[in-house]
Amino acid sequence: MKSKKNNTSQNYLDFVPCRVETYKWEQDEKGDVTIFVENKGAFNRIAQKFFKKPEVSQIHLQGIGNYIWPLIDGKTSIYNLGVKVKERFGDEAEPLYERLSEYISMLEQYGFVTLKKEW
């Protein structure tokens, strides 16, 4: 991605993901991570009343996501997360940075993380 101000190239792997603290989460004894999403707003209240939609949805992470989520600390860059994933999973994680970038991007799209530039 290019910066509009100084037209310099920015590497996505230099960004640092930060968990959005409004989402509670827990990790069970097997290492499985669950993120809890509170369903707020008028539409959700109607859906809860008439369609029995839950007040809190549970998002269960899978695979390497269970390992990555607790490592997202607002200090570790995507590149360094990849180093840790490679150490833990080896070739099973390949193609590592393509998969990791896509996963972090998905977490950002769902609003579970924000990205900041590593300085």
pLDDT per residue as tens digits for the range 19-54: 999 999 999 999 999 999 987 777 667 766 777 777
Q: Find the helix or strand (DSSP H, E) in which 38 lies.
A: strand 33-38
Runs of H (alpha helix) within 30-95:
42-51, 64-71, 78-89
Across 6-20, 41-55, 76-90, which has the greatest mean pLDDT?
A: 76-90
Domain chopping of the chain, boundaries: 19-111
Backbone angles phi, psi at 35, to 5 degrees: -105, 135
Whole-number Cα distances in Å, 43 to 2, 39, 50, 51, 81: 38, 9, 11, 11, 37
Note the pTM of the prediction, 2 decimals: 0.80
Tokens of 102: 């896509």
Number of neighbouring beta carbons within 10 Å of residue 112: 21
| 60 vs 99: CA distance, rounded Å | 18
Q: With 60 as the cut, is the pLDDT of residue 72 above it?
A: yes
